[in-house]
Amino acid sequence: MKGKVAVLLTHRYPYGRGEEFVHQEAGYLAQGFSRLIIIPEEKSSARRTFPGEAALEELSWELPGRLKRWLFYGTALFRPAFIGEFINIKRRYRVKLSFSLVKHLIFYLFLAHLKARGIEKCITPLLREGTEVTLYSYWSGLMAVAAARVKNKMKKDVKLVIRAHGGDLYFERSPYQYIPLRRFLYKACDYMSFVTRQGQLYFMEKHQISASEKMGVDYLGSEKMEMSGAFDMKVFRMLSCSHVIPLKNLTLIAEALRGVDQRRVEWIHVGDGAMYETVKKSCEEILSGFPNVSVRFVGYLPPEDLKAFYKESFFHLFVNVSRSEGLPVTIMEALSAGIPVMAPDIGGIGECIHEQNGLLLTSSPGPEEVREGILKFSRLDEQEWRAYSREALRTWEAMFSPARTAALFVKKIRDV
């Protein structure tokens, strides 16, 4: 026996931006397994550092020739995976069938087939050596389906662990109102991990699956953020942090701030995205007639710069007004800095935000509700605010400290 090897399947990590939370978990994986191999679905020229004990496998996902592609497309209609999923779409999910959806499913199957071949090629030499291999897909998307195909082929020689978050879990966030092959994934895996209890319940109800030892809730963790600066009654400082896309609903914060005229307010947003300039301009225009409120969009900050930003700043409140979430790492980071959090009751947010450490809004708050929340925290004196701050930090320590969450999760999947 050659030890236990973890094969971490990611979207881009260690390339490009995003998936910062994968990095900290990779370090624990490298320590918990005799070897760690990282396989990203996509890659770019910009590569970040990753744990020194890990190996990066840069597989090629080149499409085969046109003839082979069309042969696959033509035969896909008669494959068991397509037929079974077609029945699920019609009878279980009751999703409206369309040509674009059927085309999407066929191409999804094709890409999963292609990526499965690459993963299989990577792990076959390890299996020949007698190495125990655990395929761990950080997302329950395309790479997870590819890994499930490999698992089904290799049977007991390979373990499969899959994480489900938000965009890869909730049908409502897909333009097709559907995500392919969910029951196929669950049947193939040895353990499916959900980042929130609400996510697990959604999956069980949506796919008519009963609870079992094959599934569980494992919260992600976040690095500890430190915040400096003195409590200031003169200026109320708010922070938000997210991609700048319609789903994050950032103009709602600006609309809410229009009615906060009792004191000076500074709102800073960290993050960029496809709608950055448009949303930034909209927020500035909404607040243009309110000189007591300033808004500043600082764009994307790499992890180290974000830590430095927190350390040089002081915020009274962290605000999230998204329309859909799993459980954002940005909320965990704010809690770790001792910042009270105001956020809607969606996804798993209600599992960590409550009246002692912040304010849980309704699932779809309007400007007035958000405004009342801002006013509530703006009226706190220092002693009252410190009580919220202490509870925020305690929540992070109990639920999201990586020394606890990542270490326990790695031990769990090592022994699966």
**CATH code for position 91:** 3.40.50.2000
125 contacts: CB under 8 Å, gap ≥ 6: none
* 348 and 216 inside one domain: no
Token couple for 159: 């373990």
> Within a domain: residue 32?
yes
Pairing outcome for strands 341-344 and 264-270: unpaired
Q: Which positions ≥6 away from 187 have C-beta within 8 Å?
A: none
Same structural domain, 205 and 271: no
Supply the pLDDT for residue 60: 73
Binning the chain into helix, strand and coil, the percentages to the nearest 5 are 45, 15, 40
Cβ neighbours of residue 396 under 8 Å, at least 6 residues apart?
222, 224, 332, 335, 336
Q: Are residues 2 and 129 in contact, defined by beta-carbon separation less than 8 angstroms?
A: yes
Query: Is the pLDDT assigned to residue 1 strictly greater than 60?
Result: no
Q: Do 180 and 48 belong to one domain?
A: yes
- The pairing of strands 35-40 and 4-10 is parallel
Strands (E) located in 186-340? 191-194, 215-217, 235-241, 264-270, 293-299, 317-319
Give the DSSP H or E segment for 85: helix 80-87
pLDDT greater than 90 at residue 39: yes
Which residue's entry shows tokens 């395309």? Answer: 142
By mean pLDDT, which of 22-26, 226-230, 253-257, 285-289 is the weakest?
Answer: 226-230
User: And the tokens for 265?
Assistant: 């307010």
Considering the domain architecture, whether residues 196 and 127 belong to the same structural domain is answered as: yes
- pLDDT tens-digit readout, 53-79: 789 988 877 666 666 667 666 677 777
Indicate whether 16 and 59 sit together in one domain.
yes
Q: Are residues 199 and 261 in the same domain?
A: no
Domain residue limits at 371: 235-399
Token pair listed for 90: 């019609």
Please determine, for residue 38, whether its predicted confidence score (pLDDT) is greater than 60: yes
In a domain, 209, yes or no: yes
Do 18 and 133 lie in one domain? The reply is yes
Q: Are both 158 and 131 inside the same structural domain?
A: yes
Note the pLDDT of residue 370.
98
Question: In terms of domains, do 62 and 178 share one?
Answer: yes
Asked if residue 181 belongs to a domain, the reply is yes
DSSP 47: B
Residue with tokens 């559907």: 178
Q: Is the pLDDT confidence value at 345 over 90? A: yes
pTM as predicted: 0.89
**Could you report the per-residue pLDDT of 129-138, keeping only the tens digit for each?**
999 999 999 9
Residue 408 belongs to a domain: yes
pLDDT for 177-222, tens place per residue?
Answer: 999 999 999 999 999 999 999 999 999 999 999 999 999 999 999 9
Return the residue matching tokens 């991990």. 193
CA angle, residues 162, 179, 353, in degrees to nearest 5: 65
Residue 229 in domain:
no
Report the SS3 class of residue 160: strand
Structural domains in the chain (count): 2
pLDDT classification of 97: cutoffs 50, 70, 90: confident
CB 344 within 8 A of CB 370: no
